[in-house]
Amino acid sequence: MPKLTLYHAAPSRSSITRWMLEEVGEPYDLHLLNLGKGENRSADYLAINPMGKVPALRHGDVVITEAAAICAYLADEFPRAKLNVPIGEPRRGLYLKWLFFGPSCIEPAVLDRAFPRKEEARRAALGYGDFDTVMDVVAEAVVAGPYIMGEQFTAADVVIGSGLRWGMMFKLLPERSEFTAYAARLENRPALQRAESKDK
């Protein structure tokens, strides 16, 4: 079985993928990088991720970067963990939408609010539209629960849940009851608890 190595710094976006690895339950190694010391800018690491960012995951000879892509990859690569919606199932469309919605809508909406532009962009020009619509759409998706795909916990919960938890922690997201209840359900997951205590 090819070895899994996570290039990691905690706390950071690579904690998303550590949670995912704990959900998958396969053994993995950690390669810790000190971002403060600029180890992510070393030539060795830039050869792994030319973006100079964590996370990166090595699986045998394959290197995957981008947190949501790593979560999607792991879910498909280790189907026994039942963290994906397999190709061929109609629900896969919705599952993929949520995997992409994290990095393409939630994160930019939150970061634009944290670091406002000098000139407001037109709603039509922004891929996420506007902050309030993004929040309303996510709130509606998680309110019924327990998870974003209903009864099945998937990689999409790792991505969306991490974004919501991070945003609320830094007071960049409204603490809506839909979000706090969803976050509380996620925080009951042993894999998230393990990832957090190992990161500490």
Ligand X SMILES: N[C@@H](CCC(=O)N[C@@H](CS)C(=O)NCC(=O)O)C(=O)O
Figure out which of the listed residues 53, 58, 59, 189 binds ligand X, where binding follows CB under 6 A: 53
Nearer to ligand X, 42 or 177 (CB): 42
Figure out which of the listed residues 4, 20, 24, 54 binds ligand X, where binding follows CB under 6 A: 54
Instruction: Considering only the stretches 47-55, 120-128, 152-160, 192-200, report the one whose residues sit in contact with ligand X under the rule CB under 6 A.
Output: 47-55
90-93 long-range CB contacts below 8 Å, 24 or more apart? 91/149
- Whether the Cβ atoms of residue 110 and residue 172 lie closer than 8 Å to each other: yes
Q: Rule CB under 6 A: is residue 21 a binding residue for ligand X?
A: no
Q: How many residues bind ligand X (CB under 6 A)?
A: 11
Q: Which residue has the tokens 């993004």?
A: 134
Nearer to ligand X, 70 or 178 (CB): 70
To ligand X, the closest distance from the beta carbon of 124 in angstroms equals 24
Per CB under 6 A, which of residues 73..132 are in contact with ligand X? 103
Nearer to ligand X, 56 or 83 (CB): 56
Instruction: Tell me the CA distances in angstroms from 96 to 17, 62, 86, 109, 169, one per residue in order.
Output: 17, 22, 10, 19, 26
Alpha carbons 19 and 194: distance in angstroms, whole number: 8
Q: Rule CB under 6 A: is residue 189 a binding residue for ligand X?
A: no
Instruction: Tell me the CA distances in angstroms from 94 to 70, 74, 196, one per residue in order.
Output: 18, 18, 28
To ligand X, the closest distance from the beta carbon of 20 in angstroms equals 12
37-54: buried (b, 16+ CB within 10 Å) or exposed (e) per residue? eebbeeeebeebbeeebb
Positions in the binding site for ligand X (CB under 6 A): 12-13, 35, 40, 52-55, 66-67, 103
